[in-house]
Amino acid sequence: MVVPFFNLENDPGSNFTSLLRKVGLDPFSYAHSGDVQSLQAPHGTTVLAVRYNNGVVMAGDRRATMGSRISNREMEKVVPADRHSGVAISGTAGIAMDMIKIFQLQLEHFEKLDGRPISLEGKANQLSQLVRANLSGAMQGLAVVPIFGGYDLLRSTGRLWDFDVTGGRYEEREFVATGSGGGPASTVLKVGFRPGMDADEAINLACRALWEAADVDSATGGPDVLRSIYPVVATITADGWERRDDSDLATRFETLVQQQRSQREGTTS
Amino acid sequence: MNQPFYVAPEQLMKDRADYARKGIARGRALVAVQYNNGIVVVAENTSNTLRKVSEIYDRIGFAGVGKYNEFDQLRRFGVRNADVRGYQYSRDDVEARSLANEYAQILGQTFTHDVKPYEVEILLAEVGIDQDSDQLFHIMYDGTLMDERGLSVLGGDAESITERLRNSWEPADDLATAVKKCVSALSGPDRVLRAGDLEVAVLRRGEDRRCFQRFDDAEVAKLQE
């Protein structure tokens, strides 16, 4: 594969996916190749995002499953897309990972060619086009459904979006959760959400939502104390993406366990 | 049948080289040097939007002098090449050397076969894990590829700028000192260059991923203090 020197008529512009197509590396070409309904590929599960006073919190568990088998215990489904945004993915893991990679590259590619980053809304739009490009894959059972969150530097606020398999893009004002444990996680977020929460409260709420999702959904992993594997939790503010370290999360989950234990003891005694 | 006039190949090449050199000499020069924590590029450029120095990939920077549209086209080619390569293989497999070779091919081909040669000189800099592994590739309008050590000067009046810089530059300089030396080498004894006349960017050693950073006028002014 050689990247040619494009003339004006077929220059792909600042778009990385159209560049890939021009050089014969269409990332979604698998989507036309027969029936894969019976295919067993690893799936990622619960991911969520919450808005708070200074930005957004994004979080996701670490488990990937293949049917009822745990295929990976430390998958990272929540990753930075660039300095001021993040993407969380549930769905077929292999395709999701490639989609994240292309999305990150697309943002960086544009930034380098044009000399400035895409607006936050523009980034969400780009992601929705990638989800749409995978539509025929989704019809064959290889769906990928992301959440996108970030800090909008033009409007000085955190914003978040969820998507459907057709590329539909919906901006949410408070929180969003998706994946197989998305239902219980949403309920926890809905009950616990307050406008104007600070980062600490928002992180605790996210941890609680993941905890409850893992409690009822076998495909969602809880905190794994034995192996020291904790969910990915990150905040995105005006200062950019910052992932919380495991020792911080360990303390939060420890507190959560103690609360639940004392509640239980309260009801039995 | 019309016979074209015979032109000796030496004459043909010389004419083309003169043409390209004249085009390049019309523009302003730029310099790149190693400093204690990476590579700094200082260009004389009054425009705040039409850049001479820019990012290609994690550890690779690009700088061009001469005709803007021509070196910008080469820059876009470099970004595309690097991004596709990084996507197809790994981020570690993108390196300045192979891209410099591709540039040399393009410039050399155009110089000998096209109607008009490129009126540009370009620099491809890669910051390594230590100063010994830093690389500066200087590519001329005719495809001549030079692997330079420590410092590189592109553009009109390169000889006297190089001489001034060689007398002052030290690889152990910190960023502010290196920038000051570069600026005085660019300006010469008779002129003063202020932040607004300059474009300054670094490839900083030891960054996780993207080492390239551009400084705005206020930051440049601060470095010059």
- Per-residue confidence in pLDDT tens, chain B, 225 aa: 677 788 898 998 999 999 999 999 888 999 999 999 999 999 999 898 899 999 999 999 999 999 999 999 999 999 999 999 999 999 999 999 999 999 999 999 999 999 899 999 999 999 999 999 999 999 999 999 999 999 999 998 899 999 999 999 999 999 999 999 999 999 988 999 999 999 999 999 988 889 999 999 999 999 998
Q: What pLDDT is attached to residue A172?
A: 95
Residues 83-112 of B with CB under 8 A from A: 83-84, 86-88, 106
Establish how many alpha carbons lie within 13 A of residue A58's alpha carbon, considering only the half-sphere containing its beta carbon.
Answer: 31
Asked whether residue A178 carries a pLDDT value surpassing 80, the answer given is yes
Task: Check CB contact under 8 Å for A3 and B84.
Answer: yes
Sheet holding A240-243, edge to edge: A175-178, A47-52, A55-60, A232-237, A240-243
Residue range A111-116: mean pLDDT, rounded: 93
Q: What pLDDT is attached to residue A61?
A: 94
In A, which residues are within 8 Å of B84 by CB distance? Answer: 1, 3, 19-20, 23, 25
Q: What pLDDT is attached to residue A30?
A: 64
Q: What pLDDT is attached to residue B1?
A: 64
Q: What pLDDT is attached to residue A259?
A: 92
Q: What pLDDT is attached to residue B48?
A: 86
Choose, out of A1, A2, A5, the residue to mutate when testing the contact with B (most B CBs < 10 Å). A5
Reported as a pLDDT band with limits 50, 70 and 90, residue A239 is very high
Q: Who has greater pLDDT, A8 or A177?
A: A177
Reported as a pLDDT band with limits 50, 70 and 90, residue A139 is confident
Asked whether residue A95 carries a pLDDT value surpassing 60, the answer given is yes
Q: What is the pTM of this model?
A: 0.89
Task: Check CB contact under 8 Å for A25 and B84.
Answer: yes
Q: What pLDDT is attached to residue A34?
A: 58
In B, which residues are within 8 Å of A16 by CB distance? Answer: 83, 87
User: Alpha-carbon distance B4 to A241, whole Å?
Assistant: 66
Residue type, B135: Q
- Give yes or no: A157 in active site: no
Contact B43, B28 (CB under 8 A): yes
Task: Check CB contact under 8 Å for B84 and A19.
Answer: yes
CATH of domain A40-256: 3.60.20.10
As a whole number, the mean pLDDT across chain A is: 90
Choose, out of A1, A2, A3, the residue to mutate when testing the contact with B (most B CBs < 10 Å). A3
Q: Who has greater pLDDT, A24 or A174?
A: A174
The C-alpha of B77 sits at a distance from chain A's nearest C-alpha, in angstroms, of 7
Residue of chain A with shortest Cα separation from B78? A3
Say whether domain B23-224 belongs to CATH 3.60.20.10: yes
Of the residues A17, A45, A65, A220, only one is catalytic, namely A45
Contact A169, A147 (CB under 8 A): no
| Chain B CB within 8 Å of residue A5 CB | yes
Burial of A15-27, coded b for 16+ CB within 10 Å and e otherwise, reads: bbbebbebbeeeb
User: Alpha-carbon distance B106 to A62, whole Å?
Assistant: 47
Its ipTM equals 0.90
What residues pair up with A161 in beta bridges, in sequence order?
A148, A171
Query: For the segment A22-60, what is each residue's pLDDT rounded down to a tens digit?
Result: 888 887 776 555 555 556 667 778 999 999 999 999 999
